[in-house]
Amino acid sequence: MKIASSLRRLLTSLDREAWTRFFIALGGLTIAFGSAMLSTAFRDEGNLIATAITASLALLTAGIVGVAIVPYLAKRAAIERLRFAMQYELTREGAIYLVASIVIAIAALNTGNNLLFMIVAAMLAAVLVSGVFSTWMLLNIDLDISVPEHVFARQNVSGRVAVSNHGLFSVFSIQVIPAKQKRRRKETLPAANAILRSPLYFPWLGPGQDRFENVDLRFERRGSYQQKELGVATRFPFSFLRKTRMIPLDSEIIVLPSIEQTQDFMETLPMIVGEFESFVPGRGHDLYRIREYAPGDPARHIDWKSSAKAGNLMLREFAREDERNLRIVFDNPAPGVLEEEEYERGVQLAASLAWHFAAENVSLSFMAPDYDGSKEALGFLKYLAVVQPGNKQLTLGEIPVTSAYNLMFTGRVPGSIPAELWANSYVIFLGAKKTASS
């Protein structure tokens, strides 16, 4: 019973259509082979009509199998290593070698010199051996690329490229190259949104070995960067051809906006802090505790009497210190409202301020069109990393007027801001030279 059930499961799991076509192809090739043998026999007997019929039948049958069945079976092949993209590029050395081979072959045909025929045969054999060996090497190579989880624009980070040799023999002189975008004036450019943009060289990799190479990465702009494929290339052993096997990958990173302290940041931050501090009421009473002074604490809260008694600087901490709420609102401008440079400057300023206040004793929240509502600064930076001008904008009347102070980025004109927002908002008009607050 177990054997019968196992056979039923096996038959159920088989691809019946593929196996049916396989046996049809096998039968067709058998007919073609038999017809070819019969055509040879009829030719020896001098029967030209029978020879033509059987030879035509052999060719027709083989052609039908090759056109109708073989492509289908090739697509259904389950061996992954048989499906690869190989690119060939003739090198300068290979071109010289090819010309020399043709010259010697013509000389051998003209003179009938057996030595020249042997030289041509050896030269062609070298090309064949080179092609087979280099292809076998590339078939056994796997690649992977890894980068840090959080990457900021215009900051140097370190990534790692891993190369694995799954073959039984060593591989020599291989190069990992990025995907190509286009050619311009005989120059091949890397893809604009590729992670790896410069080649890496590995002189040797033993059987079953993995090698890792660190690579310095720098992304000038925010956004999504993908590595859909990498190429592994070699000229080994004779440098006749440069063979490149393209290996598909599925690597993607989100490059966050730059958080560098630009001039806009340095000019805007003191004004925002001043407005925010004056908005928070209750400071100066509702004492929470007295603790030891730490670097970075505001000097105006030092309790000098307690400091004199303790012999160290002591700081008064109020209950309202833990209740400071700041809401960063990014009112995404519509397309065409701002120039690209102005838009990018606004995105960077919003990211820099969000990152700055995330390190402060402030309860942060964020609001933007299509934003998921996360209160994590990294979540907001990931939103800013891929945001583009859109037709969907915030309804300003729906922004909650609560105890939270609004830091708002908008491309609208000042007169379009509702009056109720001015009481608890600091507004930065993107693309303008001025800001406004309560």
Q: pLDDT per residue over 194-225, tens digit each?
A: 888 888 999 988 888 899 989 888 898 999 89
User: What integer pLDDT is reported at residue 272 of this predicted model?
Assistant: 79
Most confident of 28-42, 59-73, 187-201: 28-42
Supply the mean pLDDT for the chain.
79
Q: Please, are residues 154 and 261 in contact by the beta-carbon 8 Å criterion?
A: no
> 117-145, pLDDT tens digit by residue?
888 888 888 888 888 888 888 888 888 88
The pLDDT confidence band at residue 79, using thresholds 50, 70 and 90, is very low
Q: Highest mean pLDDT range out of 67-71, 318-322, 383-387? A: 383-387
The residue-averaged pLDDT of 372-389 equals 90
Which has more confidence, 338 or 278?
338
Catalogue the E-assigned strands of 257-413: 287-292, 314-318, 325-331, 363-367, 405-410
pLDDT (0 to 100) of residue 286: 53
**Tokens 């008064």 found at:** 316
Predicted confidence band at 351 (pLDDT cuts at 50, 70, 90)?
A: very high
How confident is the model at residue 185, as a pLDDT?
46
Distance CA 53, CA 59 (A): 10
pLDDT score at 318: 61
Q: What is the pLDDT of residue 12?
A: 59
User: Distances in Å between the alpha carbon of 419 and those of 3, 369, 422, 437?
Assistant: 82, 21, 6, 11
Q: Which residues pair with 171 in a beta bridge?
A: 205
Q: Which run of H or of E encompasses 105?
A: helix 92-111
Q: pLDDT band for 246, please (50, 70, 90 cuts).
A: confident
What pTM did the predictor assign? Answer: 0.65
Cis omega (within 30 of 0) on the bond before 148? no
Per-residue pLDDT of 272-290, as tens digits, reads 777 776 666 544 445 556 7
Q: Is the pLDDT of residue 418 over 70?
A: yes
Strand order in the sheet with 325-331: 363-367, 325-331, 405-410, 425-429, 435-437
What's the confidence (pLDDT) of residue 349? Answer: 92
Residue 183 pLDDT > 60, yes or no? no
pLDDT at 73: 64
Rounded Cα gap, residues 31 and 36, in angstroms: 9
| pLDDT above 50 (res 321) | no
Pair 228, 249: CB distance under 8 Å: yes
More confident residue, 386 or 113: 386
* Position 156 pLDDT exceeds 70: yes
Q: Model confidence at 9, in pLDDT bands (50, 70, 90)?
A: low
- Mean of the pLDDT values across residues 320-328? 69
Rounded to an integer, the average pLDDT of 67-93 is: 65
> Binning pLDDT at 50, 70 and 90, where does residue 182 land?
very low
- CA separation for the pair 257, 385 (Å, rounded): 6
DSSP string, 1-39: -HHHHHHHHHHHHS-HHHHHHHHHHHHHHHHHHHHHHHH
Percentage of the chain exceeding pLDDT 90 = 9
> Residue 355 above 80 pLDDT?
yes
Q: Is pLDDT above 60 for 357?
A: yes
What is the predicted pLDDT for the residue at 381? 92
Report, as an integer, the average pLDDT of 57-63: 77
Percent of the chain topping pLDDT 70? 82
Query: What is the rounded distance in angstroms from the CA atom of residue 43 to the CA atom of residue 45?
Result: 5
Where do the DSSP E strands lie in 237-293? 241-256, 287-292
- Specify the range with the lowest mean pLDDT, choosing from 32-36, 42-46, 315-319: 315-319
